[in-house]
Amino acid sequence: MKFIVSVKQVPARDSSLRVSSDGKWLDESDITYEMNEPDAYALEEALQLKEKLGGEVVVLCAGPARAAQTIREALAKGADRAIHVQIEETGTLDALATARLLAKAVQAEAADLILTGLQSDDLGYGQTGVILAELLGYAHATIVMEVEPQGNTVRVKRELEDGWFQNVLLPLPAVVTVQSGIKKLRYATLMGIKKAKTKEVKTVAAAQLGGDKTPGSVMANIYMPQRSKQTQMLSGDAKQVAQQLVEKLKFEARVL
Amino acid sequence: MSVLVVLEQRGGKWNRMSFEALTAGQKIAQIFGVPLQAAVIGSGIESLAKEAAGYGASKVFAVDHELLAKYTPDGYTAALEQLIKAANPKAVIFPHTYQVRDFAPKLATRFSNALISDVVEIKDDAGKAAFVRQLFQGKLSCDVQAAGEPAFVSVQAGAFRGAEAAANESGPVEAFAPQIEASQIRSKPEEPFREAQRSVDLGAAEFIVSVGRGIKEKDNLPVVEALASALGAELAASRPICDNGWLPMERQVGSSGQTVAPKVYFAVGISGAIQHLVGMKGSKTVVAINKDENAPIFETADYGVVGDLFEVVPALVDEIKKAKA
Ligand SMILES: Cc1cc2nc3c(=O)[nH]c(=O)nc-3n(C[C@H](O)[C@H](O)[C@H](O)COP(=O)(O)OP(=O)(O)OC[C@H]3O[C@@H](n4cnc5c(N)ncnc54)[C@H](O)[C@@H]3O)c2cc1C
């Protein structure tokens, strides 16, 4: 089977985020980047499916030049080759514009199954996979926990709210968006890192792909959230805050 | 022109977030100066539509078809695409449920638009609506404007108060019969199910100590276990802790775990993502211990400590023991 995994590079989870002076995106000067966490699980799922069923895993990524590092990481973990759609925008391309580029880039690939994370840790639209499916004319399922290809269909276990689940059968080709935490992530081995250097990365400029670039929504300005709740912040060393907290819980909240 | 709110039901039961979406819809309708309409989708949903008509909408569409009895993204998208083309609303509003996440982006794409998802606030920007979204799981906010009409917007759980039924007013219900063929529906959903019964009911706990990824390793769990036993509290966790198998799934709090409302909820090394917050917002008192002063959990906390949990928690255990002695 041919698996395509769409991954995004995002600021690392513990980055300290500062808004850029124009209020349009982040000050990227001291940010490190990593693979979007749910996408890492989509990749893991694809690699395990390939190990079981054979075939090929192709990594697909729309991102600026720096995303090459995330693509290498995916190749080092075992993906066979990659397509890098190079874009100018560093962070603000919306899900519709991104999915349009991704769809153009993979149309000719004739994938059986496209996997991606259920949302990105940065913009968090949670839509790229679904839009990609619509643009390619594929069936899809979201918030997927298990993926089981069966002939020309795939059976997936979807997560619903409040601890409910549902199995859904989809015809192939299909797109699934994968939930975080569904498998144990592998590390790249030294051998894998070495091999990745020889693997094919096809770079296509977004402009080359052409097509519709109008965004589906416009991000006007970014800012730190205003606090609306009166949270009492306690300060001092560990012992002092512990003492204050116990006092408050005892005499103010009256719960101890 | 109108603002159309798409309500969600399953098996004849409302998803309560539908009424929060109605409130958000009301607000957008006021900004645009247009009437509010609502839609209910399914098969045999006449009585639900009648009920919905009592919540302040000027009209409720009953989008009824036997192929809509079970939710599928293809069926719902086809039906709503037709309704939207017929009703021509300025904006379409959804609750940001798992189901909406599954089909609304597809529907918006049919109109060359993107869903403005998981909106927490709506601002009136001189007759235009600005939709506030959270970025980085709540660490930053962003004002978003729709690029085209209709705007597609989904609202976050708990961001708006649920609409209440209007005293004795009720708008009309209009039946809408979409054209759908069985061959259009590609996915085959099976019956929803739950995994094994829970043996821990966190919903009844008075004290909960909940641990997040700040604990770093499974071997560090005794740090929070000591706090739980000093308080006589149940131990709970954010999702990644349970995904890793460090604590059993039944101790997970959040949208895909349990909903709790203890007297005191200690959030230790938990960032405060919305999927976690919806499970514990009902707690009477919330204490947050986190080393990041900008962690969104502090917005929900009554008492906040910015600090390293590995220092703060043991000190707290000592003080609680003293207080209880
Ligand atoms: C569909 C869906 C359903 C979900 N359902 C749930 C759910 O039911 N429940 C749930 O919890 N999540 C759920 N999630 C995941 C959720 O979005 C978050 O990813 C998750 O809650 C984050 O867990 P966390 O706060 O433990 O980890 P992180 O977000 O990684 O936060 C760790 C925190 O620890 C702090 N920290 C680190 N070291 C220290 C230290 N030494 N001392 C003090 N603080 C420290 C950091 O500052 C950070 O704030 C769901 C997600 C999706 C998309």
Write down the domain spans for chain A: 2-209
Report how far residue B114's alpha carbon sits from residue A95's, in angstroms, rounded to the nearest whole number: 7
Beta strands in B113-233 (DSSP E): 115-125, 128-135, 140-146, 151-155, 173-176, 188-189, 193-194, 207-211
- Summarize pLDDT for B172-216 with one digit per residue, the tens: 999 999 999 999 999 999 999 998 777 888 999 999 999 999 999
Inter-chain CB proximity B109 and A249 less than 8 Å: no
Distance B274 CA to ligand 1 centre (A): 9
- Residue A96 confidence (pLDDT) above 80: yes
Span(s) in chain B for CATH 3.40.50.1220: 202-324
pLDDT for position A89: 81
Nearest in space to B312 (alpha carbons), one of A13, A232, A247, A244 = A244
Q: Are B239 and B257 in contact (CB under 8 A)?
A: yes
Sheet strand arrangement including A217-223 = A217-223, B140-146, B128-135, B115-125, B151-155, B91-95, B3-6, B36-42, B59-64, B173-176
Distance of CA B23 to the CA centre of its chain: 14
Element (H, E) at B86: helix B73-87
Q: Which CATH superfamily is domain B3-184 in?
A: HUPs (3.40.50.620)
Distance B318 CA to ligand 1 centre (A): 27
**DSSP conformational letter for A19:** B
Phi, psi angle pair for B286, to nearest 5°: -120, 130
Indicate the pLDDT class of residue A163, thresholds 50, 70 and 90.
confident
Ligand 1 pocket by Cβ (under 6 Å) = A 13, 118-119, 143; B 137, 212-214, 238-240, 252-257, 269-271, 273, 275-276, 279, 289-292, 295, 308-310
Nearest in space to B267 (alpha carbons), one of B244, B314, B235, B242 = B235
Indicate the pLDDT class of residue A156, thresholds 50, 70 and 90.
very high
Q: Are A138 and A115 in contact (CB under 8 A)?
A: no
- Return the amino acid letter for B130: A
The β-bridge partners of B288 are B267, B304
Element (H, E) at B101: helix B98-110
The β-bridge partners of B94 are B154
- Summarize pLDDT for A69-78 with one digit per residue, the tens: 999 999 999 9
Residue A236 distance to chain B (closest CA, Å): 9
What stretches of chain A show up as alpha helix (H) in DSSP?
Answer: 37-53, 68-77, 95-106, 128-136, 190-196, 206-209, 238-247
The partner residue sitting opposite A161, judged by closest CB among B138, B139, B255, is B255
Architecture of the domain spanning B202-324: 3-Layer(aba) Sandwich (3.40)
Q: Are B31 and B124 in contact (CB under 8 A)?
A: yes
Closest residue in chain B to residue A161, using alpha carbons only:
B256
What is the CATH class of A2-209?
alpha beta
Residue B108 distance to chain A (closest CA, Å): 9
- Return the amino acid letter for B265: Y
Ligand 1 atom 30, closest CA = B213
Indicate the pLDDT class of residue A88, thresholds 50, 70 and 90.
confident
pLDDT for position A14: 85
Inter-chain CB proximity B113 and A96 less than 8 Å: yes
Kindly report the length of chain A. Answer: 256
The DSSP line for B238-294 is: -HHHHHTTSS-GGGBBSTTSB----SEEEEES----HHHHHHHTT-SEEEEEES-TT
What was the ipTM of the complex prediction? Answer: 0.96
pLDDT for position B201: 87
Interface test with A, best of B132, B145, B186 (most A CBs within 10 A): B186
Average pLDDT, chain A: 95
A64 is written with which tokens?
């600026």
Residue A175: C-alpha distances to residues A66, A128, A206, B28, B150 (Å): 26, 10, 22, 33, 26
Q: Which of A180, A234, A241 to mutate to test the pocket of ligand 1 (most atoms within 8 A of CB)?
A: A180
Low-confidence ranges of chain B (pLDDT < 50): none
Residue B158 distance to chain A (closest CA, Å): 15
Nearest in space to A80 (alpha carbons), one of A1, A154, A156 = A1
Rg (CA), chain A: 21
By DSSP bridging, strand A81-86 and strand A201-205 are parallel
Which residues from A are below 8 Å from B105, CB to CB?
Answer: 95, 125-127, 130-131, 134
Kindly report the length of chain B. Answer: 325
Inter-chain CB proximity B136 and A219 less than 8 Å: no
Using the atom order of ligand 1, give the atom closest to the CA of residue B256: 8
Distance B201 CA to ligand 1 centre (A): 21
Residue A140 distance to chain B (closest CA, Å): 8
- Summarize pLDDT for A185-194 with one digit per residue, the tens: 999 999 999 9
